[in-house]
Amino acid sequence: MLIFDHSRPGRTANAQLPSSADDISAVPEHLRRRVPPPLPEASELDVVRHYTKLSQLNYSIDTQLYPLGSCTMKYNPRVCNTLAKLPEFLGMHPMAAEVAGQGLLACLYDLQEILKEVSGMRAVSLAPAAGAQGEFAGVAMMRAYHEAREDVAREEILVPDAAHGTNPASAVMCGYRVREIPTDRDGNVAMDVLQRAVGPRTAGIMLTNPSTLGVFELQIEEIAATVHAAGGLLYYDGANLNAILGKVRPGDMGFDVIHLNLHKTFSTPHGGGGPGAGPVGVSEKLLPYLPLPLVAKEAGEYRWLSERDAPASIGRLTAFAGNVGVLLRAYVYARLLGCEGMRRVAEFATLNANYLLRKLIDAGFSAAFPDRRASHEFILSFKAMAKERRVTALDFAKRLLDHGFYAPTTYFPLLIPECMLIEPTETESKQTLDGFIEAMIRIKQEAETCPETVREAPHTTPVRRLDEVKAARELNLTFKR
């Protein structure tokens, strides 16, 4: 039932509204709306009940294990939300932040400092509203750097084939051509290909480390040396920072520019698809190009830096200061954890992933890289099962929903056929992981004894498997009476 089905002409949620309408005769007739907008006419209880019921159709971290690889679906501490929603923060108009928001700017300044330290970079800008926007900002800074040196022949960005789709998309938005670098058998960048690919046209390389294959890139220092020697720069996609938080710093690996996903590593809520925050960090040479605004501390007072202070900045990415409410949540989280707590994040995320990987290998699942340590995530391949039992990774994922688990990422990275990328995160207990292992084993048996049940999964969710082809062919994107 849609909210529109609750609608009855003349019904309102009166308590919410100004008591009466105001005179609009000063708005010329020809600029006015003739027909009221087709919004639902419902009571407050109708609305509360409808959306409460809708919420109950979702799987979420608060209700289920959500082992979605490369997304770091860890527990979102409630206190982060409570404090970010203090009226002193929530009620602040963006134009008031400097004159009346010294407390807010202090939080943001401290967060810049914390992220700088934990990433080993020279400075951080909190401006990007999401990881993809951080990527855009990072690549734009690389470009600004080369252009400032009049090194304009560099028109290519190297991207490993295991990279997130956003990497090539961001490079293209910055006007670059993308050259894919393959992966070797152990999950590392194919060094020989890389060596042949780098040269005077290389603007830089975008890397995720640990990579999306769930392993640490062993040749990272060699890659850095090779790319730097050719005059290129190294971009760090922070999607997997959770695996090494507080233990290994991207700056120490030789990266010139990074973005962090605070909605992953710093546990801000994913909110059904956003908001995120994608701060960028840079080494000394990219400092002048950081996106605005930045928070500065001068004689104990905080202020926003603008174009006047940073004339070489790549500019602004949103109308105001990025996703401030997300940044506040990340700040609270960082203060709760502190130095020790951050290191523990990496340690226990890694422990959980390796435990899960070992137990699943022992149960007969095939790992993409059985001889490697898992980072905070790992890949299983269902290629054999798909071939022998006609049960695909997707079928398997759907059947997990019936066992009360959200499904891992499927069919990514693209280079491993029939794959599942599993990331348990550090906030899950051994008992929860054991429950997941048990479900995996049961589904595996089921795939052998009654594969039909797996192929037709899910069976217990609010809807059964949906027809995506129909959705794309017979587009129905809005409700029409």
Partner 1 sequence: MPFIPHTVEDVSEMLAAIGATSIEELFDEIPPHLRSSAEVRLPAGMNEMEVIRLVMELAAKNRNLLCFAGAGAYEHHIPAAVWEIATRGEFYSAYTPYQAEASQGTLQLLYEYQTMMAGLTGLDISNASLYDGASGLAEAVLMAVRANRKSKARRILLPKTVHPVYRQVVKTVVKHQRIELIELPYQQNSGRIAPATLAAWAGQDVTALVIPQPNFFGALEDVDALADWAAQNDALTIAVVNPTALALIKPPGEWGERGADIACGEGQPLGVPLSAGGPYFGFMCCRKDYIHQMPGRIVGMTTDRAGKAGFTLTVQAREQHIRRGKATSNICTNQGLLVTAATIYLSLLGPTGLRRVASRCHGNTRRLVECLETIPGVGRLFDGAFFHEAVVRLSQPAEQVLARLAEKGILGGYDLNRHYPELGPALLVCATETRTTEDIEAYAASLRAILTA
Identity of the residue, 82 or 384, whose beta carbon is nearer to partner 1 in the bound complex: 82
Residue 140 C-beta: closest distance to partner 1, Å: 7
Residue 130 lies near partner 1 (rule: CB under 8 A): yes
Residue 299 lies near partner 1 (rule: CB under 8 A): no
Identity of the residue, 325 or 366, whose beta carbon is nearer to partner 1 in the bound complex: 325
Residue 58 C-beta: closest distance to partner 1, Å: 4
CA atoms within 13 A of residue 335's CA, in its CB half-sphere: 13
Residue 88 lies near partner 1 (rule: CB under 8 A): yes
Q: What is the DSSP string of 336-386?
A: HHHHHHHHHHHHHHHHHHHHHHHHHHHTT-EESSTTSPP-S-EEEE-HHHH
State the pairing for strand pair 280-282/123-125.
antiparallel
Residue 129 lies near partner 1 (rule: CB under 8 A): yes
Residue of 182, 199, 200, 315 interacting with partner 1 (CB under 8 A):
315
Give the interface segment with partner 1, choosing from 190-198, 229-237, 313-321, 385-393 (CB under 8 A): 313-321
- Radius of gyration of the chain from its Cα atoms, rounded to whole angstroms: 25
Q: Which of residues 165-204 bind partner 1 (CB under 8 A)?
A: 165-166, 168-176, 178
Handedness of CA 170, 472, 423, 183 (dihedral sign): negative
Whether the CB-CB separation of 290 and 310 falls below 8 Å is answered with: yes
Residue of 65, 141, 407, 422 interacting with partner 1 (CB under 8 A):
407
Distance CA 402, CA 382 (A): 19
Identity of the residue, 198 or 262, whose beta carbon is nearer to partner 1 in the bound complex: 262
Burial (CB count within 10 angstroms: exposed 0-12, middle 13-18, buried 19+), residue 137: buried
Binding mask 258-297 for partner 1 (x = CB under 8 A): ---------x-xxxxxxxx--------------x------
Residue 150 lies near partner 1 (rule: CB under 8 A): no
Enclosing H/E stretch for 271: none
Identity of the residue, 332 or 447, whose beta carbon is nearer to partner 1 in the bound complex: 332
Residue 213 C-beta: closest distance to partner 1, Å: 13
Residue 465 lies near partner 1 (rule: CB under 8 A): yes
Note the Cα 295 to chain centre separation in Å.
Answer: 24
Residue 63 lies near partner 1 (rule: CB under 8 A): yes
Residue 412 lies near partner 1 (rule: CB under 8 A): yes
* Cβ-Cβ contacts under 8 Å for 375 (sequence gap 6 or more): 210, 214, 215, 216, 240, 243, 244, 350, 353
Residue 247 C-beta: closest distance to partner 1, Å: 5
Residue 131 C-beta: closest distance to partner 1, Å: 8
Identity of the residue, 216 or 436, whose beta carbon is nearer to partner 1 in the bound complex: 216
Residue 311 lies near partner 1 (rule: CB under 8 A): no
Q: Which of residues 326-345 bind partner 1 (CB under 8 A)?
A: 326, 332, 334-345
Identity of the residue, 62 or 192, whose beta carbon is nearer to partner 1 in the bound complex: 62
Counting residues that bind partner 1 (by CB under 8 A) gives 195
Nearest CA among 301, 294, 288, 264 for reference residue 427: 264
* Cβ-Cβ contacts under 8 Å for 451 (sequence gap 6 or more): 389, 390, 391
Residue recorded with tokens 């790549």: 314
